[in-house]
Amino acid sequence: MKNNISKIMKILEKDFYKKGKTTLNRMRTRPDAFKVLIACLLSLRTQDKNTEIASNRLFAVADTPSQIVKLSIPRLEKLIFSSGHYRKKARTLKHVSQVLIGGFDSKVPETREELLSIKGIGPKTANIVLAFAFGQAVIPVDVHVHVTSNRLGFVKTKTPEQTEMELMKVVPKRFWKELNGIFVLFGKEICVTVSPKCSICPVRKYCPRIGVVRSR
Ligand code: SF4
């Protein structure tokens, strides 16, 4: 299986790596941990193009914790409107900024435990920050990564948290950081949650299609 994992990752990397570079991936070239964190919070439950618009509008006005806490909630909501769920996200951004100022000297903490101690930051966000802002060897896992990894037989798990642990045991380290971006795009275009497009899948010949009951 290990050989197949490398083969599959190389094929997907070739087809989806560049296209799969999201707003968050692109930030890795000039990592600003606070901006990575905020963009990740804005990216939840929305498309990348919306994340980019909202991030750019917000960062043009405020890109530090103290600047964000100074914004009124209505102003903040307006700035991040395009990211969707803007009311909840505006409150989360304010809260996270306040906690960073009060508990972390206005800096984004570099450990998973500290990140998860802040209300509003979940495991996926924490791992995105650790991987993209601090270059740590972790695998950000969301629903696309979880579903696709199980279908491909990389792991046999019930939750994204278990998937993260198991993927770290079987996927070569060099793919860890890019795996999320690749699988998110692959999951949106080919290995979609309902009825994956197996007939046009570039890794079909290696895939045991575990749990797939209907496909195209
Ligand atoms: S063959 Fe089907 S189930 Fe397997 S990775 Fe491709 S699209 Fe997903």
**C-alpha of 157 from chain center:** 19
| Listed range (64-68, 99-103, 193-197) with the worst mean pLDDT | 193-197
Percent of the chain with pLDDT over 70: 92
| Listed range (24-33, 40-49, 152-161) with the worst mean pLDDT | 24-33
pLDDT value, residue 17: 67
pLDDT per position as a tens digit, 147-190: 999 999 999 999 988 999 999 999 999 898 888 888 988 988 89
pLDDT value, residue 161: 86
Q: Tell me, using a 6 A CB cutoff, whether residue 116 lines ligand 1.
A: no
CA 75 to ligand 1 center in whole angstroms = 44
Domains of the chain: 2-21+138-206 (1.10.1670.10), 32-133 (1.10.340.30)
pTM for the complete prediction? 0.78
- The closest-lying atom of ligand 1 relative to the alpha carbon of residue 210 is 3
CA 160 to ligand 1 center in whole angstroms = 18
DSSP 38-90: HHHHHHTTS-HHHHHHHHHHHHHH--SHHHHHHS-HHHHHHHTGGGSSHHHHH
pLDDT value, residue 214: 93
Residue predicted with more confidence, 99 or 20: 99
Which ranges in the chain belong to alpha helices (H)?
Answer: 2-16, 23-26, 33-43, 48-61, 65-70, 73-79, 86-103, 112-116, 123-128, 143-151, 160-170, 176-189
Q: Cα separation of 128 and 89, whole Å?
A: 17
Q: Cα separation of 147 and 4, whole Å?
A: 18
Nearest CA to ligand 1 atom 8: 191
Q: Cα separation of 192 and 185, whole Å?
A: 10
